[in-house]
Amino acid sequence: MFAIVWIGYAFAALARQLLLYDPNFVWPQALMQTTLFETFRKQDVSSPLARRQMKIFFLCFLGMTLWQFLPEYVFPFTSSLAFLCWVAPHNAVANFLGSGLGGMGLLNLSLDWSNINWNGSSILLTPWWTQVVLFLAFVFNCWVLLPAAKWGNLGSYKHGLMSNSLLTVNGTTYPTLEVVTSDYQLNETAYAEYGDMYMGLQNLWATFFDYAKVTAAITWILTFGFVQIRDNLMKVIRSRRKASQEKGQSINHQYHDRLNVLQRTYKEIPLWWYVALFMAGFVALIVTIACGYLWIPIWTLFVALASAAVLVVPFGFLYAISNYQLAVGSFNELVYGYMVETPAGKSHRHPCGPSTYGSIAGDAWYRAQYMLQDQKIGHYMHIPPRTVFFSQIFGTVLGIPVNYAVIRWVLNTKGDYLSGKKTDPLNQWSGQSLKSSNTLGVQYAVLGPSRLFKEQEMKPLPWAFLVGAVLPPILYIMHRTLPRWLRIDLWNVSIFFSGLAVFYGNISTGYTSAIIGGYVVMYWAYRYRFEVWKRYSYMVAAAFDAGFNLNMLLIFLFFGSGKQISMPNWWGNNSDSVERCFALD
């Protein structure tokens, strides 16, 4: 864990001078935290505005902490208000249309902050255009494709529509362990007996758009973001030249806003610090892989790090302007699958290999993003960059052991939910991510992409890369030729594809609540009550997130640690369906 985190932090050096100092890259999440810290600081100097802001903060913080006990523990019914199920609780069609926990989520609202905050992006921070794109992706996914698949002829395989497990031809869970030999090769005899592996249609199109979003993100920045990145790169080059000629020159001298002027007094982080951090993580990974603990060949590590490095700038660009963190998804596992099909990789087809490779390649970008985001906070608050750097390193020393302890707690207390022995009524401990990892491991390492894409249902998947690569240039041409009021530059297909690729335990609730809340805060209040929005939006966002996290901690301490205490079943916590959708398949 230390090795991957440190490599990711080192990768921040690839993008920091392109994405950090330009005031056009606001990093909304960093802006929220800065607002909170600055308000705490101003309170010490008796600022009336700061006192009002802190009062609002603590009221919202307390309110969210107390409120979340209802959807998360006492009254789960409020987590998904399925109106169609109330009208016809025993009608299968109405249940599928209205359920947010296994259905389309039509006319469904949620009062659970964890469902409303889609993909971890707060509706109080995320720009309105990003929220609209995500909601349109949800509408196309759940209100267009799902009914077309269930009642139409969208696909020939009709079983397991919303399942992300591998399935047999008759819809039962594929016995993946039976087709893997003791040396982790494909058991051809067993595979011939059980037949081809199938995916549910929603999982199939989620995989398609998962592939498409990667190439879309790259071509998007090459078209819509090219001018901005080019100009920033030229500033980096000029700053390097001036630094070699005149001592004290830094990238901050290329920008003339107030923040960069203030930051000129601080020393920049030397490049060799990032190199040293990278080497520490790299050597640790090499040793661990060489000892056989991570199931992947050493040479694939170089490919993983190279692919992660390529994605740092385009994914960072997107996150800095949209507050949407684009997940790499199954692309890394696909690449690994092709590599272990080669003669050099045939002895490394362990099903855990793709997950390991994906963790290294994917987490490198995530950690780079966290480093960049915290450095942006330091930039906003006039903190020396070197201080921020060491603070992040110190944070990993404290945080990683805590994260490991939490993982152990989850496995010990929620293991039955994750393994499928029990069903979580809220679908929050459904083990979907683990099932997806197992699915990807068997598909890409054991079966292999070449054989996988020969199956009739899987043949469209490789075309996703072409779709993702072509659409942004087409939109760019439209943007340059059609009227600017259409704002085609905001039709970000990489975010749209990512929204279609999201597969969180069949949960379709929360999206309608989110777009309503987003409209009120990020559209109406931002345009017509800007002064109020500017003073309180970020504070309320921070309070809600902090209150939600405290609530999760309290539920764990009082009801989950030690002896587990389950909420008794009652009308608002029905044992069959918390939504009261009793005919849902």
Point out which residues pair with 186 in neighbouring strands. 180
Helix or strand (DSSP H, E) at 108:
strand 108-109
Separation CA 211–CA 217 (nearest Å) = 11
For residue 185, name the pLDDT band (cuts at 50, 70, 90). confident
* Other beta carbons within 10 Å of 497: 28
Angle, CA 142 vertex, CA 136 and CA 145 arms, to 5°: 95
Separation CA 143–CA 147 (nearest Å) = 7
Separation CA 517–CA 578 (nearest Å) = 24
Higher pLDDT, 184 or 138: 138
Domain coordinates in residue numbering, the chain: 2-164+199-573
pLDDT in tens, 123-141: 999 999 999 999 999 999 9
CA 468 vs CA 163, 218, 313, 318, 471: distances in Å: 25, 9, 17, 15, 6
pLDDT in tens, 442-500: 888 888 888 888 888 888 999 999 999 999 999 999 999 998 889 999 999 999 999 99
Q: pTM score, two decimals?
A: 0.90
pLDDT in tens, 18-67: 999 999 999 999 988 898 888 877 766 667 878 888 899 999 999 999 99
Evaluate if residue 422 carries a pLDDT over 80: no
Output the pLDDT for position 484.
Answer: 86
CA 83, 89, 94, 99 torsion: positive or negative? positive
| Residue % of the chain over a pLDDT of 90 | 51
Tell me the pLDDT of the chain averaged across its residues. 88
Is residue 406 classed exposed, middle or buried when 0-12, 13-18 and 19+ CB atoms within 10 A define those classes? Answer: exposed
| Residue % of the chain over a pLDDT of 70 | 93
Angle, CA 80 vertex, CA 426 and CA 503 arms, to 5°: 65
pLDDT in tens, 383-420: 999 999 999 899 888 888 888 888 787 777 777 776 66
In which region does residue 126 sit, left (phi positive, over 0), alpha (psi from -120 to 50) or beta (all else)? beta
Largest Cα separation within the chain, whole Å, is 78
